[in-house]
Chains A and B, each alone.
Chain A
Amino acid sequence: MNHWLRWTLLLGLCVLAGCGGGGASSASNSTSSSSSSSSSSSSSSSSSSSSSSSGANVVTVTVGPGPPAAGGGTFNVSYVNVTLCQPGTSTCATIDNVLVDTGSYGLRIFASALKSSGLALAIQPDPSNSSNSLGECGPFEDGYTWGPLVTADMRIGGEVASGLTVNVIDDNGSYAPTVPSGCTAMTGSTSLNSITALSANGLLGVGPFDQDCGATCAQCNSYMGGCTPSGDVYYSCNSSSNTCAATQVAEAAQVRNPVALFAVDNNGVILQLPAIPTAGQTGATGSLIFGIATQSNNALGSATVFTTDGDGNISTVYKGQTLSESVFDSGSNGLYFPDASIPTCTNTNSEPDASEFYCPSSPLMLEATNEGQNGASSVAPFEITNLNDRNVSYYANDTLGGPASGSFDWGLPFFYGRSVYVAIDGHTAGSATGPYFAY
């Protein structure tokens, strides 16, 4: 039996056995698509604020504890619910606590969350070798994710992305091929294949590009003769022999930003979070709005457009340094920028990665200037406080940050009190064409 079939069968068994638990709701055969368009969340706590829009192109975004996190917990993670269906059917399941990520492209779901949902999705065969399946390496700075590609219809609010390629992150050993060495050579050998590593059941990548890799992974490299893929991201894997070889995948078949597959609201998103107090608060409730200038609720208005370079970056000038690889990244939980004059924190048992954050002796009022490729320029004030002053039950905090190099990573703290627009490469969105950010 092909191993990918067995994987599907294992998931299928869960439908019968009712593998509950986890954070995901069970599969259902309901013909009604999920239509829970935002409005305010019923779970918002007393000190949460909310800024919600409504409409079929809007879903609620919640900042809160999410799934248990490794290493002492995390904060500033924004989540949505995503419904996945077997292609062309009404057999669907909803996955909750999916991280909204303007710093990546495409949907990634942990295998254990999918299993808990009871939904079985078939692994994609390699179109050029039907006895093989397709796997994907997700490169991060301190490790990798690894798992197969599947096909699903994705529903979110009233929007549908049919036939979407989704990367299942194999956190439960259900995908036979083990991570290829070409993947770990790029990223180091630390596996991030766990819900606790990302504090989410998945990632919804809605950054300013359509495909997660693009031309690099679709090309054939002719060096030394023959043809080898120029990117070690996609792999053709044989489950029987547990061997994988890097393979090129056409851009249209890569993991794609699901927004680009929507029928109408397909040129980008707006992530909208309420303003919060400096001390932070338990959580926050906002909106993810699909489309830019496609409906009455998503006009570009007076937002300043910052077009990006070909890699999705803008420039940020901070204290005289021009940081040319800067980005608005809701998937980062702090403001990360280089400043040797601010002391970093000391690691402790309860905060093992504290040195990744700044610990100034008193709050710092700072500012930086964002610059688009289009010449747009705007000063953004921000504040940095001491990580150790954080109330650990507050999951929303807009004053935490840490060191970086060459980049100003405007993480989720930047999004509070703003509507941040993300327009997809090549799409006209209001008065400008993506890739751009606007706020």
Chain B
Amino acid sequence: MKPYTPRTALALGAFGLFGALLLQAPAAAHLGGDVDSVSTDRDVLHAQLRSTPMALYDLHEISTEGGTLVHEYTTRQGTVFALTWQGPLPPDLRQLFGNYYKQLQDAAAVQARTGMHRLLSLAQPDLVVQSVGRMRSFSGKAYVPSLVPAGVAVAELP
């Protein structure tokens, strides 16, 4: 099973605001959390935050001084339904995964691939994770399928 089967194309740019408007809501929360619950992700990651409204969700971009870029995606109701990361080091996944962190850990422990350990894929009903990484280059994507807004293609999240 592949988790990223494209569904309907996402109508990016419908608002004509792509990358332009900064939202008032300042903080992104952990996966499954509320957008206004904490500003701790930014603080824990020692990072800058920029939020942008998209057609069907809001995008919160957290950039650390270490060069790692984290995107958190919130529903119109303010719940984080997906996140992505890319950079020379992984971000603080314990912070970003919140209540889902233990699930991630348990899956990693079971997988514990012999040989090199540079891929992680997890496709459970309530959590999908795909990540790849080696020193100097890490990236990944995680989402909660039940929280993804109708019409949003996770594979095409910017």
CB–CB A331/B46 < 8 A = no
> Taking the nearest CB of chain B, how far is it from the CB of A338, in angstroms?
7
CB–CB A190/B109 < 8 A = yes
- The interface centre, meaning the residue of B47, B88, B91 with most chain A CB atoms within 10 A of its CB, is B88
Q: Is A288 an interface residue (CB 8 A)?
A: no
| A128-174 contacts to B (CB < 8 Å) | 138-143
Q: Is B67 an interface residue (CB 8 A)?
A: yes
CB–CB B114/A405 < 8 A = no
Q: Choose the segment among A64-72, A235-243, A263-271, A363-371 that binds chain B (4+ C-beta atoms closer than 8 Å).
A: A64-72
Q: Is A232 an interface residue (CB 8 A)?
A: yes
Q: Is A189 an interface residue (CB 8 A)?
A: yes
CB–CB A331/B132 < 8 A = no
- The interface centre, meaning the residue of B104, B119, B120, B141 with most chain A CB atoms within 10 A of its CB, is B119
Given contacts A214-B136, A223-B65, contact A139 B90 (CB under 8 A): yes
Given contacts A103-B116, A311-B136, contact A230 B65 (CB under 8 A): yes
| A386-439 contacts to B (CB < 8 Å) | 402-407, 409, 411
Q: Is B76 an interface residue (CB 8 A)?
A: no
Given contacts A70-B112, A142-B120, A188-B105, contact A104 B134 (CB under 8 A): yes
B126-158: CB near A (< 8 Å → 1, else 0) gives: 000011111111111100000000000000000
- Chain B residues with a Cβ closer than 8 Å to the other chain, count: 47
State in angstroms the CA–CA spacing of A93 and B111 once bound together: 34
CB–CB A104/B121 < 8 A = no
Q: Is A260 an interface residue (CB 8 A)?
A: no
State in angstroms the CA–CA spacing of A260 and B67 once bound together: 25
Give the residues in chain B near A352, CB-CB below 8 Å: 110
Q: Is A39 an interface residue (CB 8 A)?
A: no
> Taking the nearest CB of chain B, how far is it from the CB of A44, in angstroms?
22
| B51-95 contacts to A (CB < 8 Å) | 64-67, 88-95
> Taking the nearest CB of chain B, how far is it from the CB of A101, in angstroms?
8
CB–CB B43/A332 < 8 A = no
Q: How many A-B residue pairs have CB under 8 A?
A: 189
Partner pick for A143 among B89, B95, B108, B134, CB 8 A cutoff: B108
Give the residues in chain B near A70, CB-CB below 8 Å: 112, 114
Given contacts A141-B108, A185-B93, A405-B141, contact A224 B43 (CB under 8 A): yes
Please, which residue of chain A has its CB at the minimum distance from the CB of B122? A142
> Taking the nearest CB of chain A, how far is it from the CB of B81, in angstroms?
18
Give the residues in chain A near B67, CB-CB below 8 Å: 216, 230
CB–CB A224/B114 < 8 A = no
CB–CB B115/A187 < 8 A = no
Give the residues in chain A near B64, CB-CB below 8 Å: 221, 230
Give the residues in chain B near A87, CB-CB below 8 Å: none
Please, which residue of chain B has its CB at the minimum distance from the CB of A403? B121
State in angstroms the CA–CA spacing of A70 and B130 once bound together: 23
CB–CB A142/B114 < 8 A = no
> Taking the nearest CB of chain B, how far is it from the CB of A396, in angstroms?
14
CB–CB A69/B89 < 8 A = no
Q: Is A198 an interface residue (CB 8 A)?
A: yes
| A212-248 contacts to B (CB < 8 Å) | 212-214, 216, 219, 221-224, 228, 230-233
Give the residues in chain B near A143, CB-CB below 8 Å: 108-109, 112, 117
CB–CB B90/A187 < 8 A = yes
Given contacts A230-B66, A311-B137, A404-B119, contact A139 B108 (CB under 8 A): no
CB–CB B139/A325 < 8 A = yes
Give the residues in chain A near B114, CB-CB below 8 Å: 69-74, 196-199, 353
Q: Is A209 an interface residue (CB 8 A)?
A: yes
> Taking the nearest CB of chain B, how far is it from the CB of A25, in angstroms?
24
Give 8 pairs: A residue, B residue, CB < 8 Å, sorted on A: A73-B114, A186-B90, A231-B88, A325-B132, A332-B118, A353-B113, A356-B121, A409-B119
Extra 17 A-B pairs, beta carbons < 8 Å, given A141-B118, A143-B112, A327-B137: A71-B113, A103-B118, A138-B135, A139-B138, A141-B131, A186-B92, A188-B104, A188-B109, A216-B67, A216-B88, A228-B46, A313-B137, A325-B139, A338-B4, A340-B4, A402-B119, A405-B130
